[in-house]
Every structure is written in C-alpha cells, then in structure tokens.
Amino acid sequence: MHWLPTSSPPSLVRQLVSALISPSSSLLRPLHPPVSLLSRRPLTASTLPMPDGDDSLLRKALADKLATIQAQANAVRQLKASGAPKSDIDAAVQSLNALKLDKASLETQLLQSATNNRDAFRQALVNTLERRLFYMPSFKIYRGVAGLYDYGPPGCAVKSNVLAFWRQHFVLEENMLEVDCPCVTPEIVLKASGHVEKFTDLMVKDEKTGTCYRADHLLKDYCKDKLEKDLTITAEKAAELKHVLALLDDLSAEELGAKIKEYGITAPDTKNHLSDPYPFNLMFQTSIGPSGLTPGYMRPETAQGIFVNFKDLYYYNGNKLPFAAAQIGQAFRNEISPRQGLLRVREFTLAEIEHFVDPQDKSHPKFSEIASLEFLMFPREGQMSGQSAERVQIGEAVAKGIVNNETLGYFIGRVYLFLTRLGIDKERLRFRQHLANEMAHYAADCWDAEIECSYGWIECVGIADRSAYDLCAHSDKSGVALVAQEKYSEPREVEKLVIAPVKKELGLAFKGNQKMVTEALEVMDEKVALQMKADLESKGEVEFYICCLGKNVTVKKSMVSISKEKKKEHQRVFTPSVIEPSFGIGRIIYCLFEHAFYTRPSKAGDEQLNVFRFPPLVAPIKCTVFPLVQNQQYEEVAKFISKSLTAAGISHKIDITGTSIGKRYARTDELGVPFAVTVDSRSSVTIRERDSKDQIRVNMENVAAVVKEVTDGQSTWDDILKAYPLHSSGSVDEE
C-alpha cells in the first residue's frame, strides 16, 4: 500500500472530471471525486440513503411529481402543436414551471432526509458496536487518544476470522510465501522507499495556540459550508468553490496557503490566524538502540519488509517466477486529525501481497477460473465521461485491455470473491480504476476495491501493478541487485542493441548523478533504446526519465552509442514487476459491520431489535447454548453440548441466566451469532437460525456436527433444513 506523490501542476483532466462528477450532478447516486484513502485523499460522504431508511413517501411523491411534469410537458407540446391561444400556452407553461419548483423542493427534502437517515443509521450502528464492545476508543479511562481503537471480544473475533480466511483464500490457495517482519524500521529503508521525503500531509498551525490542522481539511470544510449554508453566494462563486473542492488533492502548499489567505480562513476553535501550510511527515518516529544516533520509524505499510527480502524469497522459491509473498501486520500513520472512526486511524492492520512477475509475461495460469465473474467496474473512461460503474465480466475487461493484464485481473477477481464471501454486499462493491493523475508515474495500472458505506465509497483494497519501481529503488540504495534471471536451456544468438554510455560526457553533464544516468541507460529495454536511437539520430538529443532520480534528464547524441550486434546470450537478467493487492483490514471490517447491520421489530412490536447478519465464516461466536429454564438437568445437557462444541473447535457461549429466551435471542442476534441452541428437553434440542428465525429439532449428540457442517461452509442452512424437520415454534418462543 503506497502513498502517491502529489502530481503538480493541477491537471486539466481533474478539472474536467470535477465538472462531470460534482456532488450535485446526480441526486440519488452521485459520483464522487475519487476517494482514495490509502493514497491519503479525503473521504467524501455519500448521499445515498442507508437501507431501511423511511424516505419512501418522499420518493413516491417525487416519482409522482416527475410523472406529472412529464404529462404537463406533453400537454404544453400539444397546445403548441395545435396552435392553441398564447394565454393557454402561457398558463400551461407557468403550471409546468410551478411543478418543476415543487420537484426541486422535493429533491432537497429527499437529500436532507437521506443525510438524516444516513446519520441515524450510522449512529444506531456505532452505538451498538461500542456498547457490545466490537470496538471502542483506546485508553478510554484516560480520555482516549484520537485515532486509536481497541477491538473488544466480538470485534477481535471478527478480525481474527477475517484474517484466518484471508490466509486460507490467498496464502494457502495460491501457495504464497508469508513473512512476518518487524514494525520498527530503520530510516535507510524508508528513505529508499521515498517515505521519509514524501509521506506527508500539509499542515497549518494556529499561530497563538499551536494547535495543528490539516490544511486541505480546513479549505474543504470552508468550501462545503459556504456551498451548503450561504444562500447569498453568486453562481460564479459557487462554481469557483466547487472547482477548489475538485482540485483539493492537487494543490501545492503555496496554492493551499493562498486560498486560505484569500478566503480568510482562521483556526476553527479560536479564530486565530493560521501559519502557512507546511509538510508534516506522517510516520511515527523513534530511535533504535541507546545511542540516539539511529533514527527509525514505525512502518507505514508492510510492503517494504517483503521488497528488502526479495532475493532470499526468490531463492526460496527455487529462483523461479512468478511467486507471491504476503504479510499481515500492524502499520502506523501519525494522522494530523484522525476522523471517521475505524476508517482513518493512527494504527491499523494491513494484509499485503507482493506478486512478482516477469514484466514480459503477466499471464496467469488460473485466470480462467475467475474470468467469468461479473461485478461492478468503474474504468477510467467511465469516470471521465460521467457514467456510473457497470457490471462487467472480468475476462472481458482484460480481453479488451481495460484491465492491464491477466495477473492484475486475476487478483481483482480473487478480491471480489474474498470480500463477498465475507459478507460485503456485491451491489455496494465496485472496482474503480485510478485516473491517470492519481497513479504514480511508474504504475502500469491500478484499481481500488471500493465499498459503499455511510461515509460514501471507501477504498478498502488497492490492487496496483507497480512495475519494477520498488525493487529498483532498493537495489539502488542498498547496492544489492534485486533481480531475476531467466536461464536459457542453450545459449541464444540474439541481435541485440548494445548500449554503450560515454562516461566522460555523462560525467561532465550530470556530475554526481552520472552513475544513475549511466545505469538507467544500460538497463533500458529494447523498445525504449530503439526509440532513443532513432530520436538521437533525428534530433540530436532526447528527454529521458530516470526512475531513481524521479525526473527527466536531457541525453545528447555524444553521451551514448546504441548499436545492433549479434551476441550469444545464456540468460536474461531483469527486475521483476510487482503486482500488489493491499488490504486495509479495519476498513473492510467496518464496511462489513455496516452491510451486516439491520433492525427488526420485536415480537411485541414495541421496539426495534438490532441484528448483524454475519455469515458463519466471520461471526464472532458461532453458536449460543441456552437452557430454556434454570434447571439442573437442562444445564447438564447444555454443558454436554458445550463440551462437544469445544472439541469441534466451535466458538460458543452458554447463557444460563433466567432471562426470557426471547431476550437471550435478541442479545445474541446483536452479536451476529448465527445459531442458538435451546435446551428444552433431556435428549433433543432446538437450533434456531438468526435471520430466518427457523428452528429445527436435533438430537443433542448431533448438535456439534450440524453446527460445524454449516459454519465450516460444507452445508448451507437450506441443506440442513432438508435433513431436519422444521420445529413449529411453541414452547420456545421469540420475544
């Protein structure tokens, strides 16, 4: 997972896109400015009403109004066509305009209602999550620390289930090489990766109190506030503010500072003047060892631990490509102002895969297994032309070149399967391609798995083809060649471009950078070299991008000779490309909470009860065991069942309180427990499924086997229903 270098100057592409996808362009399904959290962009709130919102009346009224408008417009057309008197036409048009005003008002109400629904939904969800200890602010008794959260028992269980499934679905299924590297990282590694220099956000300080703010947040809040609440602004002003919002991520420190000054933005808490924006590095810094002379950081991602081990891992894999390495672990980002609960935090769990491939062959042997999967994709062109995400077969997307290569496509498909099996709603999951200006210059292609929740579309997994950038950077800095070889079975006679840099000329021109330019020339691939040869011959000089310098240099004809010669080659040496799927585990879990949460009325109808519809795979507890009434015999049966569940490795909970069975069901529905075993006799018991509330009767000896079968995924609840009679509710009642 990677920061993206800020691209400047602000691109025209983004200005164009901003006009097309500004929040007001579509009421119900607005397109958003690209949300890229891993790449440190602001999160944008969606205006999509949450499930179970009660705005149906408004929606109905709006639909009716649209129909009426349609009818009235037809009437106007007919009047005009039939040459009716002008007064009649004017009256009809006036009536049409009045209807349009009504419609606009309804739209505003609906938007407001959607926002309210969303906020109410989120409030209900977060209350439940915190009350039942799915997660809670860390160090609460000391008033907490922003951006740090604890997972309590059910949240911790969900997290460990998600990670176990990740290991099964990726590491085991694909034979990946999993590694486990430390969080404490010496500076030299993060200098090579670019984090020391570029992993920053722009910050301003309250000039009197020293309180810090993210500069882009302040400007964004100002613009949004003006647009929403200030009715006096002109259309031109509104357009300008929208334009600023769209450009926000591309503004330089100077541009941000100028806007803050121009708009007179002050510190929100004190109204004091603000400093000029300056970069704040987001890594937690520390010092390794007692001397104080070895600076280190808490890693901002786990990927670097894999890159620096490339050579050993390649050897471990029998010096063969492709192979993937994987790592699950903590990462740290010292956010200036953490927001939005679990979505932007200062410490979080990442699960990252680095799949190393030959850049000349990015096919994938198992691609056919996922090629027919169809899901929402949002390619660059669709975003640019203002369309919505569309259902596309991934096989087709790769065939058409929308997705750069098979391996990237394979991972997109596997990520889709991973997320939907966890319980992510496939209608609220899309794969969005990065726009050209979002991608790092070295990246071949990049797609984010975005999940829609009450905060909008949230980037939860990034899947990038990063080409040879990372290995190249560490090769340069460490002096250890991180390369692969393809050995030929017999030497090949090849006509080859021989690239001979003229060191003296290069030295005169580039001084200290000579070595890097020389090396970059030497490792040019054939196509680039041929082009350069042609350009040098025709123009005498050429602009040449040096990966390790991060910029173009001018190469003159005198500096390099490029010629074709026949040569015998025994092997090809190259830097592998890396394809990186990177999972923000906390974000996935939060979105899962939103997608799994719903409420339903209690039996008496006097209250709404909370339910999480977690699939058994991720449910924190698989099963509860309730003796119907407090009595020794039932409790013994309950203990017997509990023992057999433990032996089968099924997490469960006994509740022997005298509370009514309905209350006990409600309590565990709120934890997302899929099955409840109620002991109402000394031999057989009932098993109740959480969402359908179906109950079956099962012999106590078979309970563990039945629950295991369905939680392991060998059977579905429907399969089970075929084997066991449905128990008509009677003695064991819902509340």
Residues 186-215 close enough to bind its own copies by CB under 8 A? 186, 188-189, 203, 210-212
Q: How far is the CB of 355 from its own copies (least distance, A)?
A: 15
- Helix H or strand E segment including 197: helix 195-198
Q: Where are the beta strands (DSSP E) in 321-418?
A: 323-332, 347-357, 374-378, 390-393
The vertex-599 CA angle with 597 and 603, nearest 5°, equals 145
Q: Give 335 or 594: the residue with its C-beta nearer to its own copies.
A: 335
The token pair at 476 is: 């340069």
Q: 681-712 burial, b if ≥16 CB within 10 A, otherwise e?
A: eeebbbbbbbeeebbbbbebebbbebbbbbbe
The token pair at 168 is: 């099964």
Q: Is residue 705 at the binding interface for its own copies, with CB under 8 A as the rule?
A: no
Q: How far is the CB of 49 from its own copies (least distance, A)?
A: 33
Distances 598 to 158, 286, 594, 614 between C-alpha atoms, Å: 18, 44, 8, 11
The token pair at 330 is: 């903590």
- Only one residue has tokens 């953490």, namely 338
Q: How far is the CB of 617 from its own copies (least distance, A)?
A: 13
- Helix H or strand E segment including 126: helix 86-131
Q: Is residue 168 at the binding interface for its own copies, with CB under 8 A as the rule?
A: yes
Considering only residues 20, 124, 156, 373, which one is a binding residue for its own copies as defined by CB under 8 A? 156
Q: Is residue 732 at the binding interface for its own copies, with CB under 8 A as the rule?
A: no
Who contacts 300 (Cβ-Cβ below 8 Å, separation ≥6)?
A: 3, 190, 195, 199, 282, 283, 331, 332, 333
Residues 474-503 binding its own copies (CB under 8 A) are: 474, 477-478, 480, 482
Q: Give 165 or 724: the residue with its C-beta nearer to its own copies.
A: 165
Residues 225-284 binding its own copies (CB under 8 A) are: 280, 284
Q: Please give the single-letter amino acid code of residue 594.
A: E
* Contacting range for its own copies; rule: CB under 8 A; set: 20-28, 119-127, 289-297, 595-603: 289-297
Q: How far is the CB of 714 from its own copies (least distance, A)?
A: 10
d(CA 83, CA 226): 47
d(CA 690, CA 175): 36
Q: Give 139 or 545: the residue with its C-beta nearer to its own copies.
A: 139
Q: Give 19 or 313: the residue with its C-beta nearer to its own copies.
A: 313
DSSP state of 729: P
> How many residues line the site for its own copies (CB under 8 A)?
81
Considering only residues 9, 82, 87, 142, which one is a binding residue for its own copies as defined by CB under 8 A? 142
Contact (CB, 8 A) for 159 and 585: yes
Q: Is residue 346 at the binding interface for its own copies, with CB under 8 A as the rule?
A: yes
* Contacting range for its own copies; rule: CB under 8 A; set: 18-26, 87-95, 305-313, 483-491: 305-313
Side by side, which strands form the sheet with 623-627? 652-654, 623-627, 675-679, 684-689, 695-699
Q: Is residue 347 at the binding interface for its own copies, with CB under 8 A as the rule?
A: yes
Considering only residues 39, 47, 185, 467, which one is a binding residue for its own copies as defined by CB under 8 A? 185
Q: Is residue 724 at the binding interface for its own copies, with CB under 8 A as the rule?
A: no
Considering only residues 33, 42, 49, 155, which one is a binding residue for its own copies as defined by CB under 8 A? 155
Q: Is residue 646 at the binding interface for its own copies, with CB under 8 A as the rule?
A: yes
Considering only residues 14, 159, 217, 466, which one is a binding residue for its own copies as defined by CB under 8 A? 159
* Contacting range for its own copies; rule: CB under 8 A; set: 106-114, 398-406, 489-497, 647-655: 647-655
Q: Please give the single-letter amino acid code of residue 482.
A: L
Q: Is residue 133 at the binding interface for its own copies, with CB under 8 A as the rule?
A: yes
* Contacting range for its own copies; rule: CB under 8 A; set: 301-309, 355-363, 674-682, 686-694: 301-309
Q: Is residue 294 at the binding interface for its own copies, with CB under 8 A as the rule?
A: yes
Q: How far is the CB of 571 from its own copies (least distance, A)?
A: 18
Q: What pairing do the DSSP bridges indicate for beta strands 184-186 and 295-298?
A: antiparallel
Considering only residues 305, 413, 462, 576, which one is a binding residue for its own copies as defined by CB under 8 A? 305
The SS3 assignment for 312 reads: helix
Residues 368-427 binding its own copies (CB under 8 A) are: none
Q: Is residue 148 at the binding interface for its own copies, with CB under 8 A as the rule?
A: yes
Q: Is residue 656 at the binding interface for its own copies, with CB under 8 A as the rule?
A: no
- Helix H or strand E segment including 577: strand 577-584
Q: Sketch the per residue contact string, 80 through 119, with its own copies: x for CB under 8 A, - otherwise.
A: ----------------------------------------
Q: Give 183 or 528: the residue with its C-beta nearer to its own copies.
A: 183
- Helix H or strand E segment including 311: helix 310-316
Closest to 41 measured CA to CA, from 339, 464, 427: 339
Q: How far is the CB of 686 from its own copies (least distance, A)?
A: 22
Q: Give 204 or 464: the residue with its C-beta nearer to its own copies.
A: 204
- Helix H or strand E segment including 70: helix 56-81
Q: Is residue 39 at the binding interface for its own copies, with CB under 8 A as the rule?
A: no
